[in-house]
Structure 1
Amino acid sequence: MSSPVFGEYMNDCFPVLVPDGSDSACFDNSLEMLVQAGRTMPHAMMMMIPEAFGVKYHMSTDKRAFYEYHASFMEPWDGPAAMVFTDGKIIGGTLDRNGLRPCRYIVTTDGLAILASEAGVVEFPPERIQKKGRLQPGYMFLVDTTEGRIVTDNEIKSKISRQKPYRRWIEENRIELRGLFDSPKLVSSQRETICQRLRMFGFNREELKMVLKPMGLNGQEPVGSMGNDAALAVLSNKSKLLFNYFKQLFAQVTNPPIDPLREGLVMSLMGFTGKKQNLLDETGLHCRQLKLPHPILTNEDIMRLRSVNRSDFKITTISSLFDAQSDNPGESLRAGIDKLVADAKAAVKDGACLIIISDRDASETKAPIPSLLATAAVHNGLLKAGLHADSGIIVESGEPREVMHFCLLCGYGANGVNPYLAFECLDELQRLGELPAGMEPVQIADNFIAAIKKGILKTMSKMGISTLRSYHTAGLFEAIGLEKQFVNEFFTNTSSRISGIGLNEIAKETLIRHKDAFAPRSLGELELDFGGEYHYRNQGESHLWNPVTISRLQHAVRNNDQKAYDEFSAAVNDQDLKLCTLRSLFEFQNSNTISIDEVEPASEIVKRFCTGAMSHGSISKEAHECMAAAMNAIGAMSNTGEGGEDEERYIEKPGQVSLNCQIKQVASGRFGVTINYLSHATELQIKMAQGAKPGEGGQLPGHKVTEEIAKLRHSTQGVTLISPPPHHDIYSIEDLAQLIYDLKCSNPGVRVSVKLVAEIGVGTIAAGVAKGNADEVLISGHDGGTGASPLSSIKHTGCPWELGVAETQQVLVQNNLRDRITLQTDGQIKTGRDVVIAALLGAERFGFGTSALVTMGCTLLRKCHEGACTFGIATQDPELRKRFAGKPEHIQRFMFFIAEEVRGIMAQLGFRKFEDMVGKVEYLSTQKAIEHYKAKGLDFSALFVRPDVSDGRAIRKTHPQQNKLTDHLDWQIIDKLKPAIDSKQKASIEMPIRNINRTVGTILSNCICKKYGEQGLPDGTLELNFKGSAGQSFGAFLAPGITLKLTGQSNDYVGKGLSGGRIVLITPPGSKFAAHENIIAGNTLLYGATKGEMFINGMAGERFAVRNSGTTAVVEG
């Protein structure tokens, strides 16, 4: 990087980004560098936050060429972001490509412009306002004070996109695979050795059947169900690929995931690779890059690249192999990596613009370096040598075949990946009749690529990232079970909290597969191990749920057999030979044992238990009601899941246990979320993420959406329901606080909990949840259950709850927030030992999902997504539902078995009350004699840290959250309208309103719902007339019979969850602007609305009526 502006002082500018600076600080550093080097501020902003410019977007060819030119050497900064910038002469604002931040502006008749994150910051009489507007996705608002005018987005970008010949430079210099080179002769697939090579790279039959075959056949990533109860890679007795030691990170609360289905237009897998030019200059050579439409290269593509003979784009192949016959595998692997990195550096210094890292030449004497390790080593090696900008990296490997593999390779340095063995394997599957003979091989390969592309987009979207260029080299993963020194060397800035294995063990695992591949056997057919990663198999991967544990638990609860439960508990807890979970390596530090008679009774302990969130839809009515009856009978809680609930269950019948779920979930799809639903809850749970698939929305296959389910969810029978990954009213921690406030207004006195999933940093998010006035935070483990989820999400996203609970407890205590919020956890919790470990780490409440299903008869067929559950649990088939044999007492017995086991351990540790045990992490330690060759390197010291509480700060919840509803405007309204509410007589009032008046009409709706139920009041009974600027969530969950009329303007989330009321927004009389050309309402109106009407005399913001399920709405733009 150089610039004549800085000259000899250029080195003084480095580092450009302040180490450990915030994302905003880093953005500001980069913008300042670009502007100081000579670009205008709008030009630099267009480079850094480009609008989406795919071919489906209507824009000029010059502007598209500008964006593509700069994309070849500058990665975009993703949102959510509303950025304001100034150099003292111009001042402007721009919005990210997704439009995820509110940004409103007004211009007055006397030339004053005000831009802010909400409407009503400054009030003006209507006749003084010339224009009201909002920033749109990717658009720019600019005031030029020297010229005294507002410069339009079109004028700004038209001028900048034509100041250099960007279009001509692109046309003359861009390199593309298609059409440039004749297709060379492909390398033969060597069918006679394919089984050998598949074994060498760790393929198994289960993987071919459940992963590769569906992708080649349908072009879709395979879907599974239930949670991941298999052993963590670092605890497995099987040889594991390095890929399996990483977990995907995901967005929750602080920024939203993106919806790759409904908002795929803003997403892109396009990338550029090759030698990058000087960032502070602009020439035609800057775009002399290889443009890849996506990162997956076919075997033909890789041969085309090798055939390139251009002096200005040299391509070099280097082998990623190591000696397989060395007596010291670790040293041999180290030597192989060192040679690989040295070869890469030499190739780049020799002018290579593209390096192909290849393991094709692996043999009996040479083993392949794990492709992820090879990629990361080369990337880091070039980076440290200052050569990373001089060359791109293509990986040619037989190892990658799953979505996670491609994501990791791209995340740690690869610009493109050629999974040559996966393509050969698909050909072989067709030859063996596993894929239709009539399908063209090209179509099968294209389907596989399409499935991987969709999976990468979904993985990126979980982090809220829209383009592969932003995701590339970002390393958005956490290592679970890798040595910290190893991670710091090759996967810099990646978290590895519990350390683990290093090069020696990785080499050993690689050579186990290599030795197996070259062991004497007949070659040719697919004679592979079964696997057992997804389904339990004898001699396969270890699973917590297996025939022994399932049968013992079911026998125990059906026969009230304590001995059978003890055998079940022992089978789960005694994992010395077959480790599965981190807690299997924990042991208790005994203290002063007391008599069990002194310990809190089981009847009190079970009140801390709840069932997992499973919707009526994912499971049958019979199973759903069975859990509710069981938990209500013992004073515990069941959870509706995200599918709504039949209002008949709210009616308590004399002599019968209530079937009303005490916990009602509010998820991103808002299925069945009405004011009546919210008003009948003891606890409302905001589902930010789910253990089995954080960063994604729930999904219910169409065959499960029966007439009954469609009615509950306000949807259409037979149509698959997929919730959006984000809550469209939660794009920040402030938005979450707003939804918490909304829900507390919908049912004053209700507890509000927020469900998160364990990952690095979840403690900080939990602290924000506490500050947002939530009463409880739930930390789910990565192994939570699901009715339907992509297999890659089940296996590769999220972390064990042991890490999440420990981090959350420590952060909450350190920030003196622990006293105001309850901490809950769930995820494969099965025994009293699990409960006690969670409590000692900091949890106070505990969820049971899969285990509750097992007590009702589930045998983990893992066919929930197919609706073919033969036990009548996870199905809507009327005939299968008749087979349901579960009973409430089965669940009750299970809960009491666990509670009694908890009591026994409490007595052993000297605790009389459960609350005294919470957060006492000093009673936990690591097992002393760990013989497992991988597990012995684990370090749990970070989990067992007890925060300093010498100042008396609490380590558990000791008092309730603040009540922030006392000054709500609705209380005044209710006082004025109480006679009309009681008599159902028509009445109207007029009131001023300001943007500090949030969620107006919601407490009133709860009052009416409690009195009159779902039907509310007759239409038009109450009319509330407001003048001014309404705050967030105006008319949220508005009940039937209420009409809100607002003359003025509103902010975001108007009519959220509208439940039968009517909302009218009117442009003020005397306004000089045309109503249909000006903004009167904010973003995400009618989100999750189910019934009612809305009339808007003006324009609304982004995502209007998203997830609308039955309201009538009229808007003018």
Structure 2
Amino acid sequence: MLDNVVELLTVSGRSLAHVLAMLVPAAWEAEDGLDEAVRGFYEYHACLTEPWDGPAALAFSDGVAVGAALDRNGLRPARFVRTNDDLIVMASEAGVLDIAPERILEKGRLGPGQMLVVDTARGAVVRDHEVKAALAQVLPYGAWVRRHLVRLGPVPLNGAGGDASPAHQRAFGYTLEDVERILRPMVQEGKDPVFSMGDDIPPAVLSARPRLLYQYFKQRFAQVTNPPIDPLRERTVMSLAVYLGPRPSFLEDSPAHAHLLQLPSPILLPDDMRWLQSEGPFPVRVLPARFPADAGPGGLAAALRELFDAAAEAARDAAVIALSDRGVDARWVPIPMLLAVAAVHHELIRRGLRMRTSLIAETGEARDIHQFACLIGYGASAICPYLALQTLAADPHIVGNPHHRWAAYRTAVDAGLRKIMSKMGISTLSAYCGAQLFEAVGLDRTLVTQYFPGTPSRLDGIGLTELAAEALDRHRAALSTPHEALTEAGLVRFRRDGEYHAFNPYVVKAMHRAIRTGDAVAREALIGLIASRPPATVRDLIEFVPQAPVPLEEVEPVEAILRRFVVSAMSHGALGREAHETLATAANRIGARSNSGEGGEDPQRYRASSNSRIKQIASARFGVTPEYILSADELEIKMAQGSKPGEGGQLPGHKVSAEIARIRRAQAGVTLISPPPHHDIYSIEDLAQLIYDLKRIHPRARVAVKLVAEAGVGTIAAGVAKGFADTIQISGHDGGTGASPLDSIKNAGVPWELGLAEAQQVLVGNDLRGRVRLRVDGGLKIGRDIVIAALLGADEYGFGSAAVVALGCVMARQCHLNTCPVGIATQQETLRAKFSGTPEMVIAYLSAVAAQVREILAQLGARSIQEIVGRVDLLRPKPTDHPKAARVNLEFILRDPDPQGARSRRNVTPRNDRTEDADLDAQIIREITAARAQGRPVRLRSPIRNAHRAVGARVAGMIAEAHGDAGLPDGSVTLEFAGAAGQSFGAFCVPGITLMLEGEANDYVGKGMAGGVIVIRPPRALMGVTDRNVILGNTVLYGATGGRLFAAGRAGERFAVRNSGASAVVEGVGDHGCEYMTAGTVVVLGDVGRNFAAGMTGGTAYVLDADHILPARCNPEHVRWERLRGADDEAQLQKLIASHARLTGSRHAQTVLRLWEQYAPQRSPPWPPGSEEGTINLTGMIFSAIFRGNI
């Protein structure tokens, strides 16, 4: 599609470079030093079209110009070489062609948002700044913007905006939880509130209570095929600016194209609305979004038709349309605002009028972040949540006047919107608006097709009539008792008269009783309690097709079934040490496996009975060392988590004890929020690379990839299988958590039944199912759950919350507060002393589940789980008298992917390994083995090319298996290479290994290294310009915990991201250097890119800042900069640079050492009087900064 748009815009008269700069712009919004003419170019074109997000490295040509451009986030590598005879070679990797070093003039790369153009007509290479400067002069874009673009600034303040009566609140579906657990914390904390233990209430379509339309939509999220963005540490690339007004054709340019109203945020306060209607640059047409109560459910469809005609008339008049549900009273019922916005949006598209207007939702309904995201996602450019604002103004528990409260609320909403956008890898709100990045769960296909076309919907349910009836029910209940106060509906916590919770106190107590007594009566009581519940999950709508039974004694034993069980990932951090070890011990005793979670593990457990046999590799790489990896039977790459897909794990600061900080190599008391993406996985190919890396260091381990159920997960699963993972886990939306944003717990991901069915169907359909195991988790409790999962395709089954309940958890839902009353999910020693769980409790529970599985297998005529995996023909819809559940269509879930049985339905191969085609490590190990047998140090030389990936990892694994992270004495193994190294050179390096490369390297150098030395230097012909040439790629030292790296040249983006202990010297880095670094030392003998040290909470970075631009390039949120504080700091710096000069031969480093007095930090001016951290005047400094995390 991008190619089509580029072609259209090029044919319309713009140059190809112009079109690419217009569609895939740099992140210009927060770049302070940007040339004003270039800023004008970007801002003008933001009025024409929204940007396209990456990841993307684009190559383009019109027959004369040839060029390449990179997305605004720099999520793809783009390396180039220029020779002395004007050959330009650009590729996604270095080393694609063998070019003699003597011919090379330059080795470079494209940075985020950059472009390189070769004009063959002029014989010129045009650099990014030249391209953008020339484009900015084509037309007076900046002048047009200054003259015609209207910016919404501060407006005159008026009153509090009206009254929030209980009747109006209840008519719009408010509960006491909305006020106390969402609105109030958003103002008090300035962010989405955090909660714990997952979402165990029924999906909206299974609820016996009226639910708002928003709750039938689930946020989609990126996993594997493209990455989410980090909205905390990479916020500088994001923008919430929106533009209101009619849009002329983007095939033309004119001053009128810049005549729009720019809003800094999509959230409008009452004063903003008044200004828009009275003084705004465009007429505002307010259209009532309501229908008459006396018209009954049929009145909704008629009201929508009237709304369509009124909206079309307003659009023809070029008015901004405000859909408003004000005026609700005994006669008028509000139209669900999401329905009104989406319906009008699509009707205007059908009539060819959508670009002639903008939509504003003025609503009493929206109050939480998910609701705002839905409205924007389905076409609203701005929202005035008047009832939420009135509710906040009237709340006696919040300090400050209404305007201060509203400002804090808008700040929290803005942060939440950035988070939701970032889950899909979208950086700008203008690109998110109308993108419809949601999945409908439980809505009728006709309703979705007519009003939400293009929205994935695989579980049909209620239609327009039922939505209208629920709106009428809310309206009737609110107006019949207008003074009744708000009550809790039990949507967050269990309440006796509220929404059903799968882990309600009756179920929890029944589980404890069954485990404690161990008798069959208590077990059957628990099973009966769950089996007789109202429909709460999709599987509650499914039953088994009766079969001729077999004798129970012919069914495989409990022990065989237990080997398929997994205790799902829960970190040591979320759980206390005692609980975490008890779970692992229980699993190990019965042949099951326990997952470490993403917090690492104490090395003392690696060879003990409490070792977690599954070790998780998550985005922050906390505690991931070679020895950690070698201690596992299985390595799980966590791409997403059921309670917060698209986000990283979260551990509140009050749970980061000294012990947790030691294991994670972080700072005690500092909140740990993992990056949403793995910074070495921006594509399916990148995931395959990490799988390869892990199998290199630990060839015996199986590798699993954890995904979360959503539309399209089957396609992703197929890619994962082709990437040579051994196991694919599908997690449901209802997974537990120690701490997650409440919005994510409630509104992201879908039931595992949908995800598992899709994964099974796609894998079988592509004949991939036999290569991988499928694992599922999310709310599994009893044997019936296991058998249904098996019939839908799962080979293995995970227990998280249920396993913790078996240990004694009482579902207090305060894990995030560090106040667990039974000592399970806390780091407080006084509370941990209350922990009374034992491995026997977990074993008793899992054994009881396995026993019920045996009984069901016998009833189905099966003698093992293996026989029934994928036998979806043994399932059918279960009759129900639930009014909404009865409308649910299970056709998608119960579809047989291979009725003829021609392809495998289950895993049949023990491993899914690739055939090695360039195994340089195997050759090295043979030579090392021979040398070690002779008792001599190893020193080997070998050529290397970019097909040789993860070189050194297998050697590191061999050493770590014998010696752990301590490795060998320095100098034990020296490996010298010449050429271009492939991805992950030196990954997981350990002490005793020295890797010396003459040439260049690609991405992920030193990933996860724990020790040793990596030296990279260019060939002799290029030694004179090391500080100007690129020598290694992106994401270097990702998750490193030790070792040293010396690179005589420049690096790409995200250098030393998540560095937790390595030392490095490099001669320049790209954007986001030292991001989320928690320990270690980095020396940059050159300039740094934007957003340096974002999220850095530990360690030190020294930067040679000859141009004095560091203050503009760094992110000051967690760091301070200052001159060196005495001889010790200077000696450490000088020693590192001297080592760099000696090992790499860098002439640039030698010059710095030779002219040390000239570069010396002591020549800096004194600190200005009254200066504060982060605001030091750096004028005159050369080695200008030392960064330290605020610890």
Determine if the TM-score, normalized by the shorter chain, exceeds 0.5: yes
Return the offset for 1:979: 4.7
Once the two structures are TM-superposed, the CA of residue 362 in structure 1 deviates from its matched residue by: 1.2
Q: Report what 1:801 is aligned to.
A: 752
User: Which residue identity is paired with 1:388?
Assistant: R
Look up the match of 2:429: 468
1:515 pairs with 2:476: yes
Q: Which residue of 1 aligns with 2:818?
A: 867
2: CA distance, partners of 1:296 / 1:419? 8
Equivalent runs, 1:567-966 vs 2, <5 Å: 567-575=525-533, 578-652=534-608, 658-928=609-879, 930-948=880-898, 950=900, 952-959=902-909, 960-965=911-916
* Equivalent in the alignment of 1:204: 175
Residue 1071 of structure 1 aligns to a residue whose secondary structure is helix
Match of 1:457 among 418, 424, 444: 418
Shift in Å, 1:952? 2.9
Q: 1:60 aligns with which of 2, 11, 35?
A: 35
In the alignment, the residues of structure 2 paired with residue 172 and residue 651 of structure 1 have an alpha-carbon distance, to the nearest angstrom, of: 71
Q: Secondary structure in 2 aligned to 1:160? A: helix
Q: Secondary structure at the match of 1:518?
A: helix
In 2, distance between residues paired with 1:205 and 1:591? 49
Q: Is the 8 A contact 1:1088 1:1107 kept in 2?
A: yes
Equivalent pair of 1:131/1:1073 in contact (CA under 8 Å): no
Match of 2:105 in 1: 130
The amino acid of 2:167's aligned partner reads: Q
Alignment of structure 1 residues 1090-1101 onto 2, 5 Å: 1090-1101=1041-1052
For the residues of structure 1 that align with 2:332 and 2:482, how far apart are their CA atoms? 19
Question: Of residues 50, 75, 82 in structure 1, which corresponds to 2:25?
Answer: 50
Partner of 2:983: 1032
> For residues 1028 and 110 of structure 2, what CA distance do their matches in structure 1 show?
14
Between 1025-1034 and 54-63, the greater mean CA deviation after superposition: 54-63
Query: Counterpart amino acid of 1:588?
Result: F
- d(CA) in 2 for partners of 1:521 and 1:91? 69
Shift of 1:1079: 0.4
| 1:1032 Cα deviation after fit | 0.4
Which residue does 1:1050 correspond to in 2?
Answer: 1001
Rounded Cα–Cα distance in structure 2 between residues aligned with 1:579 and 1:804 = 19
Worse overlay, 729-738 or 557-566: 557-566
Alignment of 1:117-266 (within 5 A): 117-178=92-153, 183=156, 188-190=161-163, 194-266=165-237
Distance in 2 between residues matched to 1:775 and 1:955, nearest whole Å: 15
2:1001·2:1033 contact (CA, 8 Å) conserved in 1? yes
Deviation at 1:522, TM superposition (A): 3.3
Question: How much has 1:332 moved relative to structure 2?
Answer: 0.6
CA drift at 1:1020:
1.8
Q: Tell me which residue corresponds to 1:20.
A: none
Once the two structures are TM-superposed, the CA of residue 188 in structure 1 deviates from its matched residue by: 5.0
- Larger RCO: 1 or 2 (CA < 8 Å, sep 6+): 1
Please report how far the alpha carbon of residue 560 of structure 1 lies from its aligned counterpart in structure 2 after TM superposition: 1.4
CA distance in 2 between counterparts of 1:239 and 1:951 reads 43
1:333 paired residue number: 300
Q: Aligned to 2:294, what secondary structure does the other structure show?
A: coil
Note the C-alpha offset of 1:1039.
1.1
Deviation at 1:1019, TM superposition (A): 1.5
Q: How many residues align?
A: 1067
Equivalent residues of 2:167, 2:482 under 8 A apart = no
Greater Cα shift, 1066-1075 or 708-717: 1066-1075
Aligned pairs (5 A) from 1:142-541: 142-178=117-153, 183=156, 188-190=161-163, 194-308=165-279, 313-326=282-295, 328-329=296-297, 331-349=298-316, 351-430=317-396, 434-436=397-399, 439-522=400-483, 527-541=485-499
Q: Distance in 2 between matches of 1:528 and 1:583?
A: 33
CA distance in 2, matches of 1:964, 1:707: 44
Which one-letter code corresponds to 1:306 in the other structure?
A: Q
Distance 1:984 1:473, change over 3 A: farther
Q: Indicate conservation of the 8 Å contact 1:315/1:352, yes or no.
A: no
Contact 1:555 1:561 in 2 (8 A): no
The answer (yes or no) to whether the contact 1:616–1:644 under 8 Å persists in 2 is yes
User: For structure 1, which segment, 1095-1104 or 337-346, has the greater mean C-alpha deviation from structure 2 after superposition?
Assistant: 337-346
Is the CA contact 1:393–1:414 (under 8 Å) kept in the aligned structure 2?
yes
Residues 462 and 725 in structure 1, CA contact (< 8 A), matched pair in contact too: yes
Alpha carbons 1:981, 1:1008 under 8 Å: kept: no
Once residues 308 and 140 of structure 2 are traced to their aligned partners in structure 1, the CA distance between those partners, rounded to angstroms, is: 38
Q: Deviations over 1:974-1010 (max 9, x none)?
A: 1111255467742211111111111011111111111
Q: C-alpha distance in 1, partners of 2:30/2:981?
A: 39
C-alpha separation in 2, matches of 1:346 and 1:410: 22
The answer to whether the Cα contact below 8 Å between 1:616 and 1:709 also exists between their aligned partners in 2 is yes
Letter matched to residue 952 of structure 1: A
**Residue 464 and residue 188 in structure 1: after superposition, are their counterparts in 2 closer, same or farther (change >3 A)?**
closer
Aligned-partner residue type, residue 537 of structure 2: T
Amino acid at match of 1:950: Q
Residue of structure 2 equivalent to 1:555: 513
- The separation in 1 between residues aligned to 2:933 and 2:636, in whole angstroms, is 31
Look up the SS of the partner of 1:1070 in the other structure.
helix
The letter of the residue matching 2:137 is R
Contact 1:984/1:1017 (<8 A) preserved: no
Q: Which ranges of structure 2 fall in alignment gaps of 5 or more residues? A: 1069-1191
- In the alignment, residue 38 of structure 1 is paired with which amino acid? G
Counterpart for residue 544 of structure 1: 502
User: In the alignment, what sits opposite 1:23?
Assistant: none
**Residue 309 to residue 244, structure 1, CA distance change in 2 (3 Å):** closer
- Any idea what the Cα deviations from partners look like across 1:1078-1104, whole Å, max 9, x if unmatched? 000010000000011000100011000
Aligned equivalents of 2:974, 2:408: Cα separation in 1: 57
Considering only aligned residues, what root-mean-square deviation do their CA atoms show, in Å? Answer: 1.3
Q: Show the counterpart of 1:77.
A: 52
Which secondary structure does the structure 2 equivalent of 1:325 belong to?
helix
Mapped contact 1:184–1:307 kept (Cα < 8 A): no
* Aligned counterparts of 2:767 and 2:193: Cα–Cα separation in 1: 44
Structure 2 counterparts to residues 988-1007 of structure 1, below 5 A: 988-1007=939-958
Equivalent position amino acid for 2:891 in 1:
S
User: Deviations along 1:668-700, whole A, 9 cap, x unmatched?
Assistant: 000000000001110000000000000000011
SS in structure 2 at match of 1:906: helix
| Residues 867/980 of structure 1: CA separation in 2 closer, same or farther (3 Å cut) | farther
Aligned partners of 1:260 and 1:461 also within 8 Å: yes
TM-score by length of 1: 0.94
Q: Deviations for 1:582-628, whole angstroms, at most 9, x for unmatched residues? A: 11111110111111111111110010001010011110110011011
| Cα separation, partners in 2 of 1:972 and 1:187, compared to 1, 3 Å | closer
Equivalent pairs: percent with the same residue? 48
Instruction: Provide the rounded CA distance (Å) in 1 between the counterparts of 2:483 and 2:111.
Output: 64
Q: 1:949: how far off? A: 5.6
- Please state how far the C-alpha of 1:965 moved relative to its aligned partner: 4.7
Cα distance, 1:309 vs. partner?
6.7
Asked if the contact 2:152/2:264 (under 8 Å) is kept, the reply is no
Alpha-carbon offset, residue 377 of structure 1: 1.1
Task: Provide the secondary structure at the position in 1 that maps to 2:199.
Answer: coil
Q: 1:91–1:142: 8 Å Cα contact kept in structure 2?
A: yes
- Check whether the contact 1:308–1:315 (CA below 8 A) recurs between aligned residues: no
Give distance in 2, aligned partners of 1:665 and 1:1030. 27
In the TM superposition, 1:1-80 aligns within 5 A as 26-80=1-55
